[in-house]
Structure 1
Amino acid sequence: MDKSKELEAIWRIDALREVLKEIHSLFMMFHGSIRALLDKEPSGELTRAHLYPFIMDYLRDFLVGKKLQLPSFRDCLKERRTVQMLTVGREAAIEVQTLVRVLELCAGNTPCSSLILFQDLLVSTTLSPEDTINLFTYAVLRLTPHALSSGASSWSYLRKGNSSSHVATVSTLAPSGSVSEQFYGSRDTSPAGDNRYRITRPLQHDKWFKGKDGFLSTDIWGMDAGSLNVTTPTVWLRQTEERMYLCAYQYRSLTLILLIPFSSILNGEQGVSIVKQQLLENASLKILKVEEKLSKGWGGENAYHVSGYRYLLVDGNREISRASPPAKVTTLTKESLLALNRLREEVDSEKSRAKWDNPGHDKDLEVCIRAKNNAWAIARITGGKELYMVLEKANETLLYASDAVEKFSNRYCSGAFSLD
């Protein structure tokens, strides 16, 4: 590809669109719909007062010094708005199911929902796919052990360092003032400095802490008027439009998110405390067993590395993705990543055209691109599932590359991407 093509390939439009979708979905989870806020105050001042600090707090995850670093071509082996699942053995799965049933009964007759993560991977969920993605995203950003220890984003393209050579940068966010001034100059108010509204900022950094009892707490939602305790966070579920208390508990690498129906707790924070006590009394031993079994089966950060391959698997039907570990992806050359980014742009265009031409039907597709360094970038799309791969061995023929994809598909994808 020539220099102009390289510049065109720095950002992929669909990837940036997913960033906007993520902001919107997280905002709705914490504040409800924008339409509801406008109905409450048609002038829009209330909506702006909530939106501005929320977006600025979200974008701080992309801020390095005075540079705003957006997902670039180096992130083309990642898929935002999906969850990453932990592979669990049979014995561990049985223990997890038992724990989930206990969590469901923590509030008595009213069923609770739950999300269980190990490290930054999803183990179990009782939520809808949309709500699972939102809670999983927030947990990885702010609640998991890595998020708590780093005080920064857990997204893999920021984990391995903040070198500007690894991401594309934007030096300005607003017409005047540096990016850092825009961020750090905005506290709890809207751009106009209007203090009439109490603004909750759930995406603030360094605001969650682990207590001695294992529960995570934050003062983001304020303090309970009747005691010195912090107010329990609440979220809105997308599927049921139900308001839920959010309680997070952590034991070693295991993070549990318990969602308690707001309407089922009649005496506020006191009632939430009772549910937490029930969790400790009934689930502590099971939590210990689950964490122990998952830790024994855990292969570390490179657990899903496949030698010789750099890949991304996406199951669009289940909103799940799996990819080569970030440390392995960084070994790819710039030419290989640019080729894969260009390939993904072509796939995005084909998928978009297919939706218009034949709504409701997925299009089977295969695209191969040869990079300047002779690497192959390959995509296969079938039945709502997507496989993206980079093969960098020198002098590979297309036949060799296609055979490598077949072997990968048969061994790791149950033949889902095989051409036979």
Structure 2
Amino acid sequence: MQLCIFDLRRGQQEGQELDKILFFFPADLPFATQLSVIGLSEGLITFTRIFSPDAACEVIEAERHSHVFYEAESDIWMVMVVDKSKESKAACQVDALRKVLKEVHSLFVLFHGTMRSMLEKETSGGLIRSHLYPFITDYLSDFLTGRKLQLPSFHDCLMERGTVQMLTVGREAAIEVQSLVKVLECSAGTTSCYSLVLFQDLLVSTTLSPDDTISLFTYAVLRLTPHALSSGATSWSYLQRTNAGSQVPALSTITNSGSVSDNIYRSRDASLDQENNCQVKRPLHHNRWFRGNDGFLASDIWGTDNGSQTSVTPIVYLQLTEERMYLCAYQHKSLTIILLVPVSSILNGEQGLSLVKQQVLENASLKMLMVEEKLSKGWGGENAYHVSGYRYLLVDDERVSRASPPAKVMTLAKESLLALSKLREEVNLEKKRAKCSNSEVNCDKELEICVRAKNGAWVIARTSRGKELYMVLEKASETLLYAADSVEKFSNRYCSGVFSLD
């Protein structure tokens, strides 16, 4: 696998071609090879724009490689080149790979702001490279299994990256959560603060925009929730693929690659000033968050405050406004609360922020205890959303997904997963066609596809009113009527009849 990020506005003069490279993995490849990959990508982007000027290129399938494209920002492209083999030809999920690129970009923007703003701040490109290399290598370490990168494949076709997984709560618990959110806002002393409430690895409440919610939810599940803090603990979230133990021997491969690139680019970017040579923060570094005595999470990633020697609170950027916010995370048992406080509203830095935390503890401690207790009583465990006889994925138009637990999905036969993976490709293709047609009728088009897999399982996809349902029925009858009836029952009971054909 090769992954590169390049800027089409840079390196257009002869002899300056290297300036366009912002990131390349593996970093120890010769520059000639890196430029060859990026040059080919540029050519494909330019060529496809002739036929589709309004829709960016997404994927090019060659005989030996799949080229996956994502225009992260204007003229800044992320490209993943995946080798094809006999085993991987049917395994690669192009849409899932694009969502990997989108996810790592959104996480980078969360902590560093946009790539374009960093390039405008320091035009040589040294600043953004010094941040991109450790950030993306830390991100890729989550995909390591042994010494191999396990990218999304047909095994993950009942998962949806780029969505949040919500916890279903009763009316009484929902009222308590709403009350807690109001208390948190009052304790922060500003109306422009935001909050995110999670239980286990599931979202309970958010006051953020959808894009910011997904970015912060993703980071929380990766590094902040109890499962993330407990080394080696298992999680049903697709975001936590491996445990810490399996990452240790293989991590050196990626880390060494990052250090090679760091040395190469530091030697080439002689214009880096003292400010840019400061220690680079690595928010995705493993095992760097811990729970303090007061319940707030802290990390040494951002250093310590000179006055009090306490850990510096991280600052994140909202996507729409690029407003800078302090990220304060509190944890009690399975409950994780993230409070975002505007940097502009805190006058004395860490001292002022400590007063906000004190107010939160004084005003909201009892509420947080009550919410955690109520959610725990109603929690059905890791298999809470398992439906006997079904393996399913439900995605709605608000970027919320629900799926069978990974442990249950693992019981499916390979043939079933391969059939579903191909089916999802067909659905994605239909969605793109509808989007390109710019027709409201086509965008709201209802779709139903039923396929019989080689092993006799029924693989089903239904889309209706912006919602999508994917299902595998391995123990269904041989008749299509029986399979359709099973989907109807599921839709009526768990989806309010959205996918019913009546």
Shift of 1:107: 2.2
- How much identity, in percent, do the aligned residues show? 71
Shift of 1:51: 0.7
Q: Does 1:366 align with 2:442?
A: no
Counterpart residue number, 1:414: 496
1:254-403 aligned within 5 A? 254-315=335-396, 317-358=397-438, 361-393=443-475, 395-403=477-485
**Partner residue in 1 for 2:137:** 56
Distance in 1, Cα, partners of 2:430 & 2:151: 24
1:225 aligns with 2:306: yes
User: C-alpha offsets along residues 81-106 of structure 1, whole Å, 9 cap, x if unaligned?
Assistant: 10000001011111101100011112
| Aligned position for 1:167 | none
Q: Give 1:192's match in structure 2, choosing from 255, 261, 264.
A: 264
Q: Which residue of 1 aligns with 2:79?
A: none
Aligned-partner Cα distance in 2 for 1:243–1:48: 22
- Unmatched tracts of structure 2, length 5 or more: 1-84, 244-249, 267-275
Q: Could you tell me how far apart the structure 1 residues matched to 2:423 and 2:130 are?
A: 40
Is residue 2:323 matched to residue 1:242?
yes
State the distance in 1 between where 2:410 and 2:485 align.
24
Residue 105 of structure 2 is aligned to residue 8 of structure 1: no
CA distance in 2, matches of 1:221, 1:405: 50
Shift of 1:359: 5.1
Matched residue of 2:196: which SS?
strand
> How far off its partner does 1:362 sit?
3.3
C-alpha contact 1:370 1:376 (8 A) present in aligned 2 = yes
Could you tell me which residue of structure 2 aligns to residue 173 of structure 1?
Answer: none
Once residues 131 and 61 of structure 1 are traced to their aligned partners in structure 2, the CA distance between those partners, rounded to angstroms, is 21
Which region of structure 1 is more displaced relative to structure 2, 188-197 or 23-32? 188-197
* 8 Å Cα contact 1:117-1:255 kept in structure 2: yes
Could you say if the C-alpha distance between residues 372 and 78 of structure 1 is closer, same or farther in structure 2, counting changes exceeding 3 Å? same
CA distance in 2, matches of 1:265, 1:202: 22
1:302 and 1:155, CA in 2 relative to 1: closer, same or farther beyond 3 A?
Answer: closer
CA change 1:153–1:20 in 2 (3 A) is farther
Cα 1:188/1:224, change in 2 over 3 Å: farther
| Cα distance in 2, alignment partners of residues 211 and 7 from structure 1 | 45
Q: Distance in 2 between matches of 1:160 and 1:59?
A: 11
Residue 36 in structure 1 maps to residue 117 in structure 2: yes
Aligned length: 401
- CA distances 1:228-278 after superposition (whole Å, capped 9, x unpaired): 111100100112321100000000000000100110001000001000000
Q: Which residue of 1 aligns with 2:34?
A: none
TM-score by length of structure 1 reads: 0.91
Read off the aligned partner of 2:264 and give its amino acid letter: A
Residue 477 (structure 2) pairs with residue 405 (structure 1): no
Q: Which residue of 1 aligns with 2:127?
A: 46
Alpha-carbon deviation of 1:366? 1.1
Deviations 1:115-144 (A, max 9, x none): 000000000000011110000000000000
Aligned to 2:23: none
One-letter amino acid matched to 1:116 = V
CA distance in 2 between counterparts of 1:12 and 1:88 reads 33
Change (3 A) 1:208 1:46: same
Relative contact order higher in (CA < 8 Å, ≥ 6 apart): 1
Gaps in structure 1 of 5+ consecutive residues: 163-177
Query: What's the offset of the Cα at 1:183?
Result: 2.1
* TM-score scaled by length of structure 2: 0.76
Bigger mean CA deviation after superposition, 99-108 or 304-313: 99-108
Deviations 1:271-293 (A, max 9, x none): 01000000100000000000000
| Pairwise CA distance, 1:71 | 1.4
Find the residue that maps to 1:106 and give its secondary structure. helix
Task: Report the CA distance shift for 1:247/1:359 in structure 2 as closer, same or farther (over 3 A).
Answer: farther
Q: Which residue, out of 153, 166, 171, partners 1:85?
A: 166
Query: 1:394 and 1:109 mapped to 2: Cα distance?
Result: 55
Aligned partner of residue 336 in structure 2, secondary structure: strand
Give me the whole-angstrom Cα distance separating, in 2, the residues matched to 1:155 and 1:304.
11
What secondary structure is seen at the aligned counterpart in 2 of 1:190?
Answer: helix
> 2:82 maps to which residue?
none
* Alignment-derived partner of residue 174 in structure 1: none
Alignment RMSD? 2.1
**Per-residue displacement from partner, 1:17-42 (whole Å, max 9, x unpaired)?**
00000000000010000000010111
Task: Rate the CA distance shift 1:7–1:229 in 2: closer, same or farther, 3 A.
Answer: closer
Residue 72 of structure 1 corresponds to: 153
Which stretch has the larger CA shift, 92-101 or 362-371? 362-371
